[in-house]
Structure 1
């Protein structure tokens, strides 16, 4: 199995964020490539052929396979620093950018006029609650910024769950300690220092 590559960052623009299908597809592809196949990705780092095959290894049933499945710190470090954390950072960057788009004014919203017309009609409408108690209910159409904000909020929750699960596997196979948040923060600090010194 070849080494997985992080999904490259898309060119960020408000149009990218407002096209919710494309945004979801990017996140899904990135998660599928790295997180959903984390066990396979880590298994690909095992190199039993370097040690050679020991025929006596088949004489006794191996009950504790975790010791054999532990990866070298070099392989783990390389995977985390070159593949896992860059992938997570790219997704964080995309979600942060789209969150800023969702909270910014949207003068190019194609539905803004239709919503204003609906709102005006609703204000002019005469409602008799005694005849129809439900007629006073009005649910305005959601602006695309509100829809995007909801999507980003949901995807951030999904991201938390996925990263926690992925980090559990990485921690077990790589003897990693601490939370994924701390590990990612340390990686970001190292990247920042590297950029400053280069």
Structure 2
């Protein structure tokens, strides 16, 4: 069974290194969500009913509507799917907080400040150059990170919706119509046993 991936430690530097952030999200999605059909196929017990000789006379792939045992599906969801989603949610939540927090360590802050001063002192004559009023200031790295986080959250919602549709088809899961409800119930089940300790 595939193991969910998680970043080793969350630091603002991890978030600002957007290539590392995106690589973590990509690897996590590719190991669980992008291969959900293969992961679910691995849960099936092959030839449980014995070999069917007529299976060799059929052309085309077998139908994917076959359901997997509920205990195996639940174990996969509880040990792989939901922890993977939770790890990505934790990273995106942490990085969104970093993106909205002040950034005293921004290496380009002085450069942006100098550009702003230069733009204020600039004399603009639109008659000579109608484009001279256009100024494209550098974005702070927190603004760039916020844009990336918004984009990744949209991608995450699409990926989870697609994955949950496949899980519901294969696992005959009628309990939760949406992945949001299923994940919320899983989170609640993780909190309630710990509260009783």
Same fold (TM over 0.5): yes
1:112 lines up with 2:109 in the alignment:
yes
RMSD: 1.8
2:159 to 162, 179, 191: 162
Write the distance in 1 (CA, Å) between the matches of 2:88 and 2:62. 36
* Deviation, structure 1 residue 26: 0.2
Using the TM superposition, give the Cα deviation of residue 10 of structure 1 relative to its aligned residue in structure 2, in angstroms: 3.0
Residue 150 in structure 1 maps to residue 147 in structure 2: yes
Deviation per CA, 1:18-66, whole angstroms, max 9, x where unpaired?
Answer: 0000000000000000000000000000002444324455577899834
Corresponding residue of 2:191? 192
Alignment of 1:47-58 (within 5 A): 47-55=45-53
Q: What CA distance in whole angstroms lies between the structure 2 residues aligned with 1:156 and 1:109?
A: 24
TM-score when scaled to structure 1? 0.92
- Structure 2: give runs of 5+ residues left out of the alignment: none
Alignment pair present for 1:46 and 2:44: yes
- Give the number of aligned pairs: 195
Structure 1 unpaired stretches of 5+:
none
Q: Deviations over 1:100-158 (max 9, x none)?
A: 00000000000000000000000000000111111011111010000000000000000
User: How many Å separate the matches in 1 of 2:72 and 2:64?
Assistant: 16
Matched with 1:93 is 90
Aligned to 1:81: 78
With over 3 angstroms needed to count, the CA separation of the structure-2 counterparts of 1:75 and 1:126, relative to structure 1, is same
Q: 2:25 & 2:135 partners in 1: Cα distance? A: 34
- Decide whether aligned partners of structure 1 residues 61 and 29 sit closer, same or farther in structure 2, where only a CA change above 3 A counts: closer
2:21 maps to 23
Q: CA deviation at 1:89?
A: 0.4
2:140 and 2:100 mapped to 1: Cα distance?
A: 11
Q: 1:131 to 1:193 in 2, by over 3 A?
A: same
CA distance in 1, matches of 2:17, 2:43: 36
Per-residue Cα deviation, 1:152-190 (whole angstroms, up to 9, x for no partner)? 000000000000000110010011231000000000000
**Residue range with higher mean Cα deviation, 159-168 or 58-67:** 58-67
Distance in 2, matches of 1:157 and 1:60, equals: 41
